Homo-oligomer: A and B are copies of this chain.
Amino acid sequence: MTFAAYIPPQAKDGPVPVLWYLSGLTCSHENAMTKGGFQEHAARRGIAVIYPDTSPRGAAVADDKAYDLGQGAGFYVNATRDPWRPHFRMYDYIVSELRSVVVDNLPVQDRHGITGHSMGGHGALTIALRNSELFDSLSAFAPIAHPTQSDWGRKQLSAYLGDDESAWSCHDSTILLEEHGWKGDILIDQGANDQFLELLKPEALADVMARRRQPGLVRMQKGYDHSYYFINTFACDHVDWHAERLHQTRH
């Protein structure tokens, strides 16, 4: 598994907090590293950024011809069905395996925020909502917000977890937020001209946030689509969001 890590200059003076950026369908560790524009702001605010890959890779790893299943499309779950079961354990990889590698080997504090885009926004939200003790700040760019009711979700959850939909709900941020809420506030950015709005379903998440009086904000950004230009434009705000929360004195 390849991942990228940005370490800011402030790490020379002591360990810095970590921001996890989870990428979307088809991406590797490299896309956001080269196109997201986070490092400039992470350098300014003194936080490390970790960019994991989106799936296991390699000739010995199961795959599918579709862009939205298999390699590049791990969906941040632990697969229980073959042929995916042996390698597709992206949930555990983010929650524990890579986290240990990062904390044990890089000049960072054990203090974490998490964000991501599209499938990675789904990953950030679901992983944080299920592990609130592990993360102190949370945001997402155009997340797949309600995958149990979307073609970006039903196909993959069925393939990785089987047809019993009761196993899917713990990977749906709208359902998780409705059930558990989140201890802090949440920043969601969504392009109003996103070509995938029907698949992302931001209205499901916005609705549950409003009904639950969940602190946070959902920003529908005029004119923006689903691309890295959208991410790059608001990278500044998200890094600031996480930095403000991660640099607070811990309670």
Q: Which residues of A contact B (CB under 8 A)?
A: 34-35, 37, 39-40, 228-229, 232-233
Contact = CB atoms under 8 A, between A and B. Distances in A.
Contacts of A228: 34
A228 B34 CA distance: 8
Contacts of A229: 39
Determine how many copies of this chain the complex contains.
2
Contacts of A233: 40
A37 B35 CA distance: 8
A233 B39 CA distance: 10
A37 B34 contact: no
A232 B40 CA distance: 9
Given A35-B35, A37-B232, A40-B232, 7 more contacts: A34-B34, A34-B35, A34-B228, A37-B37, A37-B40, A39-B229, A40-B233
10 contacts: A34-B34, A34-B35, A34-B228, A35-B35, A37-B37, A37-B40, A37-B232, A39-B229, A40-B232, A40-B233
Contacts of A232: 37, 40
A39 B40 CA distance: 15
Contacts of A37: 37, 40, 232
Nearest to A43: B233
With most chain B CB atoms within 10 A of its CB, the pick from A34, A39, A228 is: A34
Contacts of A34: 34-35, 228
A129 to B, nearest CB: 32
A229 B38 CA distance: 12
Contacts of A40: 37, 232-233
Nearest to A35: B34
Nearest to A33: B229
A35 B40 CA distance: 13
A67 to B, nearest CB: 19
A7 to B, nearest CB: 13
A225 to B, nearest CB: 14
